[in-house]
Amino acid sequence: MQNITRRDFLKVGAASTAVLAIECQFGPIASAAERFIEGGRSVNRTSGLPRSFLPSTCMQCPAGCGNISYIEESRVVKIGGNPTHLSNQGSLCARGQAGINALYDPDRLLKPMKRAKGIRGNNDWIEISWEEAYDEIAKTMAAARSNPRDFVFLTDDLAQDDLGRRFTYAFGSPNAIGSTGVYDANKLVGTQLTWGKAGDMPDLAHSKYILVFGANPLESNPQFVGLARRFIDGIQKNQAKVVAFDIRLTNTSTRANETHYVNPGTYALLALSMANVIMQEGLYDAAFIEQWTNVSAAQLAQHLAQYTPERAEAETGVTALVIRRIATEFAATKPGTTISDAMLSNYANGVQNERAVMLLNIITGNIDTRGGLCMPVQYDLAEPSPAPPAPAPSLLSNPPELPFAFQQSVETTMQMIKDRKHSVNVLMTHGVNPVYSNPDMGLTEDVLMDQTLIPYHIAVTPYMNETAALADIILPETTFLEDWDIEVRPSPELVPYVSLKQSVVPAMESARSFFEITTQLAGMIMGGMEQYFAYKSVQGYLKARISDISGLNQAGGLDYLMQHGVWYDPKTRPNYGSFTAGGFATPSGKLEVYSQPLADRNFSALPTYEPIASFRELGNNEMVLSIFDTAIQTDAKTGNCMWLNEIQHDNPVWINPATAARLGIKDGDIVKLTRSHKSGEAKERSITSTAYLTEGIHEEVVAMANGNGRAESGSVAEGEPLTADEITEIEPRALQDPNMKLIWWKEKGTGIGINAKQIVPVSPDPIGGGQAWGDVVVTVAKA
């Protein structure tokens, strides 16, 4: 811990004294306090005068870091990190810094719009007033009320869309479908089944040995800033050894002591063979297995015996020697942990992958310990009463063929609607862009284009995007910097906190917040809906959300949050080993290495490796397509941010030079990726892009970045500069930005890339229901 010597940088303001008080407990926070200068101030560059500021929460990705907006003349001029926020401790990533671009995007939608006539997607819009828009929607929805269960609401889980669910339930429909299904559903299901809680949080900063299974915490992670810092701390301060398994070179694997390229889709085998070694060599924590799992060591050893390192070598590509060595080291070096994220479980065998990797931590006793794999901690928020009762489940909300899935995922929803297994009268999309983000973009597009499948589509969004382009009516929503909500996220510091998203500047023009939209619509649709939206202000609603958190309410409740942005109980410490008090929240109270619910449904009850058939028989030109996230963009969310697009606007196809030589492809060549044809498919799904030859990728894999190739998302995302005249025509003037004429990446740069997701087939893990993003096999050829 560095001592605080930089006196000239340390003029600790009132808000940070609480932080300093617990300095010895939270090393990193103390150093954040050192960096905390009177609220993380910002000054005007010419006058040197301090700027006024308001703390809030960054919504550019699921991490929900604490940010501070600096304001001059009611305009946000700069966004910084909130030093007292437990997760990011004063730092913001590139995307967080660029939040200002999201607020002042000249292509923001500021008037409700109605499709003029003709077919959807013809981009023929007329601006209407809110009254007209509400009138039309209320009329349509009131009529649809006779069949309320046909209302479908597609929403974004990143925004913890409680209002959307409330609105849907109040309407009488169970179909509030979040996007969990397209991302970490399998991880959530795997962890839930095993330790009774969805998700995990590796305690990287205190670990001595970190096994990275296809995670990339130094570029993308649901807790990006917090985990990146703790990962580096683990390596540097704690001298942790890091072994990375990936299919390509990442910033994380560059920082690892060892990197091993794994054949795609074989994680479970790799993990299970390591577990096998640990069991065979007697390196396991016998007492822990005995006391805290529902299997015996002997039973487990017997099950694992089939996963010999030699078999693993043949299928994973990692040598038996390495597997033995790493397994032995991992078991011998305590504490140790694995880190994995969505890409471990984004396979058809995803839940099993997740459980296999968890097993490594379980048999070595690295569960919920300091430096081990911990359970996620976060506060629960109250459901303000009166709460609408949850309508009976539907095919969409609780798909019978996916018994463990939390809900139907967006992409299977589309398939069901297409197959007319569930009819729709009104579709509302909010904060999601399934046409871009779903697998098999063509499918979602086809469904949304078809008026007989979707008679009425309302899009609530601040920006035009590929999905809103297929709406009948668009309601311009505020951005996260003009909106209110309470955000609780799994804390990287393992101490729960409550973070406030508040409006730091007045809503731009006539944009309205989702709270206003749902409340006002409910008040017009009526029929009992309105009673659930009786809060006069969003603040009243949020007060009710935090009413159960007594410590916060003692500290001042919402007022405290409005001033500080975040609250946590300064006396709370990471509650390692919480299970010793009352057991795990599973039916047996133990870690369910053997899962009875899985057995009941005829799935393998013990962690098992299930090979992905299509990967085994790759043809000569066939490769596995991997789509990865980067530190610069969050999926399609940040596509309107010019500072980010300037850095990452293109996503060429990574190809290993050896593979490229075999296929006759040179750096910069145009290549065509065609998805292997599935029966019953109308269209061939293929994309073309530029080849980028790099040594940093597995020879059987091609990889592309996520978030590029936007088609309907405005000038910034599409790389189209504006002329000076066009800029001066933009209204309101606050959105006139001379930088718009400098947009260079499409014309003078390498282009805007292409959306790789459109060729990914819809394919959920049969257990978790999560989309198997990783399972795509494509034919690669020079175009």
Partner 1 sequence: MEHGDVNVVYSVEHQLPLIMYIGQYFFFTGLSAGSFVISVIATLLGRKEFKPIGKITAILAPALLIIAPLNLILDLEQPLRFWHLFLYYNWTSPITYGSFLLTAYPIMGIIYAVMVFTNRQKAAKVFGILGIPLAISVHGYTGFILALAKARSLWNTAAMPTIFIVSAMISGIGLVVIISAIRYRWFDKKADAEQKEQDKKVILQLAQIMAYVIMMDLFLVLSDILVLLTAHSDAYEAGWLLLSGNFAFLFVGVEIILGSFLPILLVLGPKSRKSLTAAVIASILVNIGVYAMRFVMVIGGQTPPLS
Partner 2 sequence: MAEENKRYAMVIDIRRCIACHACTVACKAEMATPLEVNATWMKIVEKGAFPDVRRFWLPRLCNNCTDAICARNCPTKATYKRDDGIVMVDQHRCIGCKYCIASCPYDVRYINPLKNIVQKCYFCSHRVDAGLLPACVETCPTRAMVFGDTNDSKSEISQILASNATVVLKKEMQTDPQVFYISADEAAMSSIEERINYYTEPAFIKLRI
**Alpha-carbon dihedral of residues 653, 658, 664, 668, nearest 10 degrees?**
40
Would you count residue 300 as binding ligand SF4 (CB under 6 A)? no
Scanning residues 192 to 231, which ones bind ligand SF4 (CB under 6 A)? 224-225
Q: Which stretch binds ligand MGD (CB under 6 A): 338-346, 379-387, 498-506, 675-683?
A: 338-346
- Residue 297 · residue 285 · CB < 8 Å: no
State the binding partner of 183 from Mo ion, partner 2, ligand SF4, none, CB within 5 to 8 A by kind. Answer: Mo ion
Among 323, 627, 671, 716, binds ligand MGD (CB under 6 A): 627
Scanning residues 493 to 552, which ones bind partner 1 (CB under 8 A)? none
Would you count residue 729 as binding partner 1 (CB under 8 A)? no
Cβ closest to partner 2, residue 354 vs residue 635: 635
Scanning residues 86 to 125, which ones bind ligand SF4 (CB under 6 A)? 88, 92-93, 95-96
Q: Name the residue among 690, 699, 524 with its Cα closest to residue 624.
A: 699
CB of 599 to partner 1, least distance (A): 48
- Residue 499 · residue 468 · CB < 8 Å: no
Would you count residue 183 as binding Mo ion (CB under 5 A)? yes
Would you count residue 531 as binding partner 2 (CB under 8 A)? no
Scanning residues 225 to 254, which ones bind ligand SF4 (CB under 6 A)? 225
Q: Name the residue among 687, 676, 688, 682 with its Cα closest to residue 761.
A: 676
Range list of H helices, 222-295: 224-236, 251-255, 267-280, 286-292
Would you count residue 657 as binding partner 1 (CB under 8 A)? yes
Angle between helices 185-195 and 350-363 (to 10 degrees): 40
CB of 668 to partner 2, least distance (A): 4
Backbone angles phi, psi at 78, to 5 degrees: -170, 145
- Residue 774 · residue 347 · CB < 8 Å: yes
State the binding partner of 419 from ligand SF4, Mo ion, partner 1, none, CB within 5 to 8 A by kind. Answer: none
Scanning residues 225 to 254, which ones bind ligand MGD (CB under 6 A)? 245-248, 250
Scanning residues 675 to 704, which ones bind partner 1 (CB under 8 A)? 693-695
Scanning residues 143 to 202, which ones bind partner 1 (CB under 8 A)? none
3-state secondary structure of 440: coil
Give the residues across from 411 on adjacent strands.
none
Scanning residues 577 to 636, which ones bind partner 1 (CB under 8 A)? none
Q: Name the residue among 230, 251, 234, 252 with its Cα closest to residue 243.
A: 252
- Residue 465 · residue 433 · CB < 8 Å: yes
CB of 39 to partner 2, least distance (A): 11
Would you count residue 319 as binding partner 1 (CB under 8 A)? no
CB of 651 to partner 1, least distance (A): 13
Would you count residue 644 as binding partner 2 (CB under 8 A)? yes
String of b and e for 605-637 (b: at least 16 CB within 10 Å)?
A: bbbbbbebeebeeeeeebbbbbbbbbbbbbbbb
Q: Which residue matches tokens 């990692």?
A: 318
Among 33, 61, 743, 759, binds ligand SF4 (CB under 6 A): 61
CB of 657 to partner 1, least distance (A): 5
- Residue 151 · residue 426 · CB < 8 Å: yes
Binding mask 681-720 for partner 2 (x = CB under 8 A): ---------xxxxxxxx-x---------------------
Q: How many residues bind ligand MGD (CB under 6 A)?
A: 57
What is the amino acid identity at position 24?
Answer: C
Neighbours of 777 (CB within 10 A): 19
Measured between alpha carbons, how far is 182 from 188 in angstroms, rounded to an integer? 12
Cβ closest to ligand MGD, residue 604 vs residue 706: 706
Q: Name the residue among 600, 643, 768, 630 with its Cα closest to residue 707.
A: 630
Q: Are strands 176-177 and 75-81 parallel, antiparallel or unpaired?
A: unpaired
- Applying CB under 6 A, which residues contact ligand SF4? 58, 60-61, 63-65, 88, 92-93, 95-96, 224-225
- Applying CB under 6 A, which residues contact ligand MGD? 61-62, 102, 156, 179, 182-184, 214-216, 219-222, 224, 245-248, 250, 262, 264-265, 341-343, 430-434, 437, 460-463, 465, 477, 479-480, 626-629, 631, 633-637, 706, 756-757, 760, 773-774
- Applying CB under 8 A, which residues contact partner 1? 657, 667, 693-695
